[in-house]
Structure 1
Amino acid sequence: MGSFVRRQITMADLISKAYQLDPRAKYVGFYEFLTPIIVLCDLDLIKTITIKNAENFPDHRPLVNKKVDPMLGGMLFMLNGDQWRDHRNMLSPTFTSSKIKTMFKLMSECASRFAEHLSNLPEEQRETEMKSLLTKYTNDVIASCVYNVSVDSIKEPKNVFYVYGTISTSMVTFKKSLMFLVHRNAPWLAELLQLKFVDSHIAKFFYDQVAETVETRQQTGTRRSDILQLFMDNNKKREPGNEMTVQEMVNHAFTFFFGGFDSVSSQTCIVAHLLAENPDVQERVQQEIDETLENNNGELTYDAMHDMKYLDAVISETLRLYPITSFIDRMCVKDFELPPARPGDKPFTVKAGMNIWIPVAGIHQDPKYYENPLKFDPDRFYENNRTIANSGAYMPFGLGPRMCIGNRFALTEMKVLLCHVLAKCSIKLAPRTITPLQFEKGVINTTGKNGFWLAIEPRKSSYCFSTVSASAVSSS
C-alpha cells in the first residue's frame, strides 16, 4: 500500500498490479498494511466464493468504526451476519424495477431542470468542471427521491443538503482517504482521535429530516412516491416489533448520499468525457435518444429509456473500463480450503477472519476476457450484452447475495440525466480537458486529475420534451 499512500498510484492501478503478480496463479497474497489479503484471480474460484459458498464469506470487512460514526456504520453495506440479512430482506422490495419506476418522474424533473441550465449557459461559461455540476444533480435527485425535499442546487448551491452532502461523502481528498484507511486498519486510533466522516450536527440534520417526515405522514396519512414512503409501507407488512426503526430508516436513507452523491456523479463525468473523446459514439447515442422521443411524442418514459440499447451499452462499457469500485471484498467467517494456487502447490486454508479481495479493475481490463480491453468500445455490449453479463468477468456492482442493492436506482439516475442533456446539448473536449483520461492518485474515490473539464454546446436542432405527467409514467 506504500505507493498508494505516497500518492504514486490510483487504487485501480494498485488492484490491477496485484492481479497481475502471477498470471499462472488462481490467487495471490499481499498486505494491506498489517492485514493479509487473498486476491482471487480465477473466475471459477470467484464464483465459488461469492455465490456457491457465500455462507462462508457473507460479510464485508468493516469500513468505519461504528462507535465513531454510528450513522455511517448503520448503513446496509456496513452490516454483517443476521443483521445484514434481516435488513437486506427489509430493503429489497424498495429497489425493484416497479419501485424505481415510481421515482422516475422525480428524477426526470431534476434532469430536465439540469439540462435546461446547461443548454442556456453563456458562451464564456460553456467550458465547465463537470464534477461540481453533476454533484448538484445527484444531490437534487437524492433530496427529492429519498427525503421529499425539492431543491435546486444550480440556483441555490449553498442549500443545506448540498453543503452537508459534500462534506459527508467526499473521499476525493488525501486527508479523507487517510481517515478511511485509519478506520479500516486501526479502528482503535479512529476512536481515540474521533475521526468522524459525518459530524454530529450533520447526522442530527439527516435524522430530523426523516423523523419529522415519518411523523407527519403517520399523523396526516399523506403519501409520496419516495424512498421513505416505501420504508413505511414495508413496515406495515412486517410483524409488530420487527419493523424498521426511525434510526434505521435514517441510516439507510443516508446510504443514498454516501453511495450515490459522489460515485454516480463521478461515473457520469467519465461517461461524458468518453463521449467527448468519441464524437461518433455520442452522435449515435443522440440519434437513439431523438428517435425514442419522436416515437413517444416527446415524452421520456421509464420503459422507453430502458429500451435504449446503445445508451445502455455505452454505460456498461464505461463501467467495465472504469468500474465504480476497484475491488470487492469478503470476510471469511468459517474456515475454507482453496485449491492449490498453481499446479504442484498445496491447498491453502482461508481462516475465519481473513479478508478476500476480488480485483474488479484487473479482471475488467484483462485481454483474456475482452479483446483490446483498454479501448472504449460500446459495441462489445451492444452485440453481446447478455453473453458478457453471464461470463463472470463483468461485475461493476459486485457479485452474489451482497451485490449492490441500489444498482437499478444508480443506472436509472445516470440514464435519465444523459437522455435529457444529450437531447439538448453536445459535449466537447475543452482546452482544460486532460486526454487521455487521468485520475488523482492516492485517493479512494475515482476523480479526474485536476477535475473533469469539458465544454457544453447547445445542439442546433434539439428535440423538445413534452411534460412528463404522472399518468404517463404510471402507464409506461
Structure 2
Amino acid sequence: MRFANDVIATCALGIECDSLQNPTNEMYKMALASRPVGFVRTLKFLIALNIPKLSKYINADFFSKNVRSFFINLVKTTVQKREENNIHRSDMIDLLIEARNKNSNLNWTYETMTAQVMVFFMAGFDTISTALSFCCYELALNPVIQEKLHQEILNTLYSNNNKLNYDIIKRMTYLDMVISESLRKWPPALLVGRCCTQAHKIPPLRDNEVEVLLNAGDKVLISVFGIHRDDQIYPDPDCFDPERFTEVNKKSRNPYCYLPFGLGPRNCVAARFALMEMKTMLVQLLINFEIVTTDKTQIPLKIGKAHMSLSSEKCIWLGLKARKTENR
C-alpha cells in the first residue's frame, strides 16, 4: 500500500513522500482513512454509487471531515503554488488546471478538482496493492514461472546496458503474461457496473432458466470473478498459467471474457498506468529478491468476506530471499 500511495501522490499531486521510510506521514494516514472498509463506510459507498440522490438526502458523506479538508487544502495549495510560480510537472494536477483554463464553461471549484483527484486515488490505492499481493503469492507458489520471469528481466536488461525505462518494460512479454494471468485469476474489481442504454433480451441457455429483459436505464452488475473462473472459457481456471495470454491464445478467446479493467468507453482510464506501475514494481523486486512462501503462508489461499473488494481471508504472508550478486 505504501508503494501505491507514493506513486499516486507523485503522479497525481506532484508530492514526494517516502512511506517506507516515513510510514506515519500525513498523506499515507489520510489515504488509509479514505478506504471503503468496515460495514458503515462500505454501506455509504454503495449508496453513493448506486443511489446518489438518497446519499445526498441523508447526507451520507463517504469521507470524514478531516479527510475532506486535508485533500481539498492540498489540491488548493498545489494549484495556487503552480499558477503563481508557473510550475509544470505533467501530472494530473497540470491536466486539471489546463482543462479548466481552456474551457471557461468549466466552473471548477477546488472541491470539484479534488473530487477528480480522489477518484484517481481511490481507484489505484487498494487495487494496485491487492493485485501485486496476489501476483507475488502466485509467483511464490510457482517457482518455475518466477524463474522464467526473472530470466526474462535479466536478459532484457542485459541487452539494454541495464537501463530500465518505459519502452524496455513494454518489451517484457512474459511479464505482461504473468500479470495478465494474475489479474485473470485474482481480479481486484470483482464486479463491473454498467447502465443499459437500450432494451436488450438475454435468452436462456439452460432448461431451468428464463428470458431476462433489460430496459434502458437499468443498472447491471457483471461478475468479473465469475467470468474469469468459468471453466468453459478458461480450462482448469484455478491453475495459474501465464500461457493463456500468448498472442495466439488471446486471439482465440472472446475479448469480453477478460475484464480486470472493464471494456468499452467506460473502462478504467488508468489501465495502462496501473499495469506499468505493477510491472515496474515486479521488475525491481525480482531483480534483487526471490519471492518464497513461509510457515505463515496460507495454502491454498482463501478469499476474505469482510470487504466488498477482493481480499484474502488472512494476510498474504510471503518471504523475500536475496539473490546472489552475480545473478543481478
Cα separation, 2, equivalents of 1:243 and 1:409: 28
Kept after mapping to 1: 8 A contact 2:127/2:189: no
- Higher RCO, Cα 8 Å, sep 6+: 1
Q: Tell me how far 1:332 sits from its aligned partner.
A: 3.2
1:157 matched to 2:23? The reply is yes
1:273 matched to 2:137? The reply is yes
Kept after mapping to 1: 8 A contact 2:4/2:128: yes
Q: Tell me how far 1:391 sits from its aligned partner.
A: 3.1
Kept after mapping to 2: 8 A contact 1:425/1:462: no
Q: Closer, same or farther in 2 for the Cα pair 1:239/1:256, shift >3 Å?
A: closer
Q: 2:220 aligns to what SS in structure 1?
A: strand
Cα separation, 2, equivalents of 1:156 and 1:277: 31
1:370 matched to 2:234? The reply is yes
Q: Tell me how far 1:362 sits from its aligned partner.
A: 1.3
Q: Tell me how far 1:223 sits from its aligned partner.
A: 1.3
Candidates 50, 54, 69, aligned match of 1:204: 69
> Who is 1:469 aligned against?
none
Unaligned residue ranges in structure 1 (runs of 5+) = 1-134, 465-476
Q: Closer, same or farther in 2 for the Cα pair 1:190/1:218, shift >3 Å?
A: closer
1:142 matched to 2:8? The reply is yes
Q: C-alpha deviations, 1:162-201, integer Å up to 9, x for none? A: 0010110243x44543444455677787667754331122
Kept after mapping to 2: 8 A contact 1:339/1:347: yes
Cα separation, 2, equivalents of 1:354 and 1:416: 39
Q: 1:405 aligns to what SS in structure 2?
A: coil
Q: 1:338 aligns to what SS in structure 2?
A: strand
Percent of aligned pairs sharing the same letter? 35
Kept after mapping to 1: 8 A contact 2:244/2:250: no
Q: Tell me how far 1:408 sits from its aligned partner.
A: 0.8
Unaligned residue ranges in structure 2 (runs of 5+) = none
Q: 1:379 aligns to what SS in structure 2?
A: helix
Structure 2: which amino acid aligns with 1:152? D
Candidates 276, 286, 290, aligned match of 1:412: 276
Which aligned pairs between 1:142-291 and structure 2 lie closer than 5 A? 142-171=8-37, 173-181=38-46, 183=48, 195-236=60-101, 238-242=102-106, 245-291=109-155
Q: Closer, same or farther in 2 for the Cα pair 1:154/1:421, shift >3 Å?
A: same
> Who is 1:16 aligned against?
none
Q: Tell me how far 1:152 sits from its aligned partner.
A: 0.8
Cα separation, 1, equivalents of 2:136 and 2:81: 40
Q: 2:80 aligns to what SS in structure 1?
A: helix
Cα separation, 1, equivalents of 2:278 and 2:287: 14
- TM-score using structure 1 length: 0.63
Which aligned pairs between 1:101-116 and structure 2 lie closer than 5 A? none
Which aligned pairs between 1:43-192 and structure 2 lie closer than 5 A? 135-171=1-37, 173-181=38-46, 183=48
Q: C-alpha deviations, 1:53-110, integer Å up to 9, x for none? A: xxxxxxxxxxxxxxxxxxxxxxxxxxxxxxxxxxxxxxxxxxxxxxxxxxxxxxxxxx
Q: Tell me how far 1:352 sits from its aligned partner.
A: 4.2
Cα separation, 2, equivalents of 1:266 and 1:276: 15
Q: Tell me how far 1:262 sits from its aligned partner.
A: 0.7
Q: Tell me how far 1:337 sits from its aligned partner.
A: 3.6
Q: Tell me how far 1:242 sits from its aligned partner.
A: 3.5
Kept after mapping to 1: 8 A contact 2:2/2:19: yes
Cα separation, 2, equivalents of 1:260 and 1:185: 21
Cα separation, 2, equivalents of 1:441 and 1:368: 26
Structure 2: which amino acid aligns with 1:431? D
Kept after mapping to 2: 8 A contact 1:313/1:385: no
Candidates 316, 330, 341, aligned match of 2:204: 341
RMSD of equivalent CA atoms = 2.6
1:445 matched to 2:309? The reply is yes
Q: 1:392 aligns to what SS in structure 2?
A: helix
Structure 1: which amino acid aligns with 2:313? K
Structure 1: which amino acid aligns with 2:68? A
Cα separation, 1, equivalents of 2:203 and 2:176: 39
Cα separation, 2, equivalents of 1:396 and 1:389: 15
Q: Closer, same or farther in 2 for the Cα pair 1:220/1:178, shift >3 Å?
A: closer
Q: Tell me how far 1:448 sits from its aligned partner.
A: 1.6
Q: Tell me how far 1:241 sits from its aligned partner.
A: 2.4
Q: Closer, same or farther in 2 for the Cα pair 1:249/1:462, shift >3 Å?
A: farther
> Who is 1:126 aligned against?
none
Q: Tell me how far 1:395 sits from its aligned partner.
A: 1.4
Q: 2:221 aligns to what SS in structure 1?
A: strand
Q: Closer, same or farther in 2 for the Cα pair 1:153/1:329, shift >3 Å?
A: same
Residue correspondences, number? 327
Q: 1:169 aligns to what SS in structure 2?
A: coil
